[in-house]
Amino acid sequence: MHFAAIGRVPGDPILGLIDAYNQDRNPNKFDLGVGVYKDANGLTPILQSVKQAEQRLVDQQLTKSYIGGHGDSRFGELISELVLGADSPLLKAKRAGASQTPGGTGALRLAADFIAHCLPGRGIWLSDPTWPIHETIFASAGVKISHYPYVGSDNTLNVEAMLQTLEQAPIGDVVLLHACCHNPTGFDLSQDDWLKVLEVVRRRELLPLIDFAYQGFGDGLEEDAWSTRLFTAQLPEVLITSSCSKNFGLYRERVGALIVCAGDAEKLTDVRSQLANLARNLWSNPPDHGAAVVATILGDAQLKAQWADEVHAMRNRIAQLRSGLVEALAPFGLAEHFAHINLQRGMFSYTGLNAEQVQVLREKHSVYMVGSGRANIAGVDGTRLDALAKAIAQVCTR
């Protein structure tokens, strides 16, 4: 038999939680697993701006023909402006360009193949910890992975250790940085920290790959782009992976982009020719619908303003859930112990709960979170914060 030697691998540590949660019959269960935003009704809504854009597309779109290796050029321009700033000198000088990809994950995979094929021998440095799929994507592409310390076992950010390690990185290696809303920890670098990282990157001639999956979920659409714009203004070459899954709520439509910033327009064209070639072997043409929705929204002042308001509302709700959860933990004497939840940004919190506590939370209280202790705060039911706090308190005092 051909398949006789094939064994079984464990399910994905994050997506596997969707099934486990759905199968749980407990009506009082909590879904803090996969990074998906839920509103006050426990739904992951389709944004109103998205609904309107989709209606326009249904009425006006003329073809479903192939879209080309880099996707829709209008989408590429608009997403580049969102990330780099509408008046970015890079865009004026034609030094930056976006390739449309199936989600941020697709952008990462394209970047990984680009490094493996076009920058042979360069390793990549990932934060410890990082999103587990960063590890597997670069490993699959055959890129050597190393780690820089980020958040230690005391659940605090250790910038000094990060800088010291990067100071030892081989000249020319790639360093993956999370623009904002660090996944899984929620701990972000301060502006001061970013300036220090920039200096090391410059000294070691590292190529930054900035993963920007949560624009608008930290401090604001423009504010969250600060680090990316700093790096692209100060360095000649930068790679950026952008995702529209969360901020447009287009998770299943798979919309993202790999934005390349190169030294000049000629070099950008060279690099983009390689990306089109690599994408042809991965997915040929990227899926269109989600990117068409994003382009419709970003290309229309009224829809764009409406969308920005919707992102603002999602961000505010997450901030309220963070402070609400810490308040709910106060009667158990745990407000200080979990004060970091208020300092973290974006969807996720590295709670500091260990693997055993996470398991008990799941088995005894139907609270689902990733084994690392990562909780998706954006999935918390705000009307049941007391019950969640009680369950957390019980595993903390066991």
The reply on whether position 37 binds ligand LMR by CB under 6 A is no
| From 38, 72, 125, 131, the catalytic residue | 131
Per-residue binding string, ligand LMR, 147-186, x by CB under 6 A, is ------------------------------------x---
The reply on whether position 14 binds ligand LMR by CB under 6 A is yes
144 catalytic residue (yes or no):
no
Interacting residue with ligand LMR among 30, 32, 35, 291 (CB under 6 A):
35
Per-residue binding string, ligand LMR, 86-125, x by CB under 6 A, is ----------------------------------------
Minimum CB distance to ligand LMR smaller for 183 or for 349: 183
Q: In 3D, which of 260, 281, 280 has the Cα closest to residue 271? A: 260
Give the number of residues in contact with ligand LMR, rule: CB under 6 A: 6
283 catalytic residue (yes or no):
no
The reply on whether position 351 binds ligand LMR by CB under 6 A is no
The rounded distance, in Å, linking the Cα atoms of 341 and 56 is 40
Minimum CB distance to ligand LMR smaller for 19 or for 266: 19
Tokens 């390349």 appear where?
260
Record the tokens describing residue 60, joined without a space.
């006006």
SS3 142: coil
- Report the nearest approach of ligand LMR to the CB of residue 374 (Å): 8
Q: Which residues pair with 128 in a beta bridge?
A: 149
302-310 contacts, C-beta under 8 A, 24 or more apart? 303/49, 303/52, 303/53, 304/49, 306/48, 306/49, 306/52, 307/47, 307/49, 307/50, 307/248, 308/216, 308/221, 310/47, 310/48, 310/49
Give the chain's largest Cα–Cα span: 62
- Report the nearest approach of ligand LMR to the CB of residue 107 (Å): 12
12 catalytic residue (yes or no):
no
10 Å CB burial of residue 128 (0-12, 13-18, 19+) is: middle
Q: Which residue is nearest to ligand LMR (CB)?
A: 35
| From 72, 211, 288, 381, the catalytic residue | 211
Residue type (1 letter), 121: G
Strand segments, DSSP code E, in the chain are: 30-31, 96-101, 124-128, 145-149, 174-178, 207-212, 238-243, 256-261, 348-350, 367-368, 374-376
Strand segments, DSSP code E, in 224-361 are: 238-243, 256-261, 348-350
- Report the nearest approach of ligand LMR to the CB of residue 375 (Å): 11
- Report the nearest approach of ligand LMR to the CB of residue 211 (Å): 10
The reply on whether position 34 binds ligand LMR by CB under 6 A is yes
Minimum CB distance to ligand LMR smaller for 12 or for 327: 12
The reply on whether position 377 binds ligand LMR by CB under 6 A is no
155: Cα separation from own chain's centroid: 20
DSSP letter at 183? T
- Report the nearest approach of ligand LMR to the CB of residue 139 (Å): 16
- Report the nearest approach of ligand LMR to the CB of residue 246 (Å): 8
Interacting residue with ligand LMR among 37, 114, 131, 307 (CB under 6 A):
131
Minimum CB distance to ligand LMR smaller for 31 or for 288: 31
| From 194, 224, 246, 288, the catalytic residue | 246
Minimum CB distance to ligand LMR smaller for 166 or for 257: 257
Contact 250, 50 (CB under 8 A): yes
Minimum CB distance to ligand LMR smaller for 39 or for 81: 39
- Report the nearest approach of ligand LMR to the CB of residue 354 (Å): 19
Contact 259, 79 (CB under 8 A): yes
Write out the catalytic residue numbers: 131, 211, 246
Residues that bind ligand LMR (CB under 6 A): 14, 34-35, 131, 133, 183
